[in-house]
């Protein structure tokens, strides 16, 4: 998984222009091109799982295959004594779990996109700085979702009633979305809890300083408003993760498949 994360970070850095010294607005054509690249990567990963899915859990024989299937309660009818046929069925099941989780998370992440756009607009962030904030925002999202997914999987394996909690959470989220109105979607930078927290506990410079998140003034390091925007985005993604990750747990309890599908969806 370490290689997977390093690959994602490297391509993401190229995607969002972190290797460039100039801050520039991403064109629509460039955005569509990279969307195609990321979707292609997700489909390529689907093909990989369909052909070599057992490698994710280091499966090498029938006994290890059976152990993984039982551990994550996978719906696979193994053929006793026939490893080749059983692992083929396992691969197809794993690939189906991945693509289903990916599509669910991709659909749910659309709301996240609009909220991030609203955050940038409400905080008056220049478009040429969006890519830098998004890179660190996505990096933080990868870390948070990794912790959330793997800890959630451990809880599911230890306490089966956690599924009922996730189900209740999904129902609550659905009701909340149904009952919400347009006024709830407005973001006031002055009253946002993250802004108030950092304003109260840290020294914050009053205006943006290029693409910098911290700046040194009078021998003292200060946070910039761009850092506050980054924290607001991280907080928003945490809320979306709490809403969306349980939906994928309804498809599979395999933390690796949930993690891979989540990451491809949020960066695509």
Phi-psi label, residue 191: left if phi above 0, alpha if psi -120 to 50, beta otherwise: alpha
Please work out, in degrees rounded to the nearest 5, the angle formed at the alpha carbon of residue 266 by the alpha carbons of 260 and 268: 95
Taking only the tens place, the pLDDT of each residue in 22-46 is 667 777 788 888 889 889 999 999 9
Closest CA to 142 of 265, 19, 227: 265
164: tokens are 């009922």
Which residues lie across from 223 on neighbouring strands? 204, 214
Taking only the tens place, the pLDDT of each residue in 54-90 is 999 999 999 999 999 998 878 888 999 899 999 999 9
Instruction: Indicate the number of domains in the chain.
Output: 1
Compute the distance between CA of residue 179 and CA of residue 190 in angstroms, rounded to an integer: 25
Closest CA to 261 of 32, 68, 49: 49
* pTM of the predicted model as reported, rounded to 2 decimal places: 0.83
Who contacts 127 (Cβ-Cβ below 8 Å, separation ≥6)?
25, 120
Q: Reduce the DSSP state of residue 254 to 3 states and report it.
A: coil
């Amino acid at each position: 998984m370490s290689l997977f994360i390093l690959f994602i970070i490297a391509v993401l850095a190229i995607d969002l222009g972190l290797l460039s010294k100039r801050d520039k607005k991403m064109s629509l054509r460039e955005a569509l091109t990279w969307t195609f690249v990321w979707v292609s990567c997700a489909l390529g990963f689907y093909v990989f799982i369909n052909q070599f899915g057992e490698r994710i859990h280091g499966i090498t024989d029938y006994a290890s295959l059976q152990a993984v299937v039982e551990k994550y309660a996978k719906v696979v009818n193994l053929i006793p004594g026939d490893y080749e046929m059983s692992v083929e069925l396992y691969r197809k099941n794993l690939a189906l779990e991945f693509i289903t989780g990916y599509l669910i998370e991709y659909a749910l992440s659309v709301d996240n996109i609009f909220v991030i756009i609203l955050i940038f607009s409400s905080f008056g962030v220049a478009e040429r700085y969006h890519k830098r904030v998004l890179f660190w925002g996505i990096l933080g999202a990868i870390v948070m979702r990794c912790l959330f997914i793997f800890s959630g999987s451990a809880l599911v394996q230890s306490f089966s009633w956690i599924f009922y909690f996730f189900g209740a959470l999904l129902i609550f989220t659905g009701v909340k979305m149904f009952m919400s109105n347009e006024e709830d979607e407005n973001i006031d930078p002055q009253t946002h809890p993250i802004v108030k927290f950092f304003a109260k506990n840290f020294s914050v410079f009053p205006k943006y300083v290029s693409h910098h998140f911290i700046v040194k003034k009078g021998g003292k390091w200060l946070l910039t408003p761009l850092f506050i925007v980054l924290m607001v985005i991280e907080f928003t993604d945490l809320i979306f993760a709490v809403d969306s990750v349980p939906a994928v747990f309804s498809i599979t309890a395999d933390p690796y498949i949930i993690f891979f599908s989540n990451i491809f969806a949020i960066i695509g």
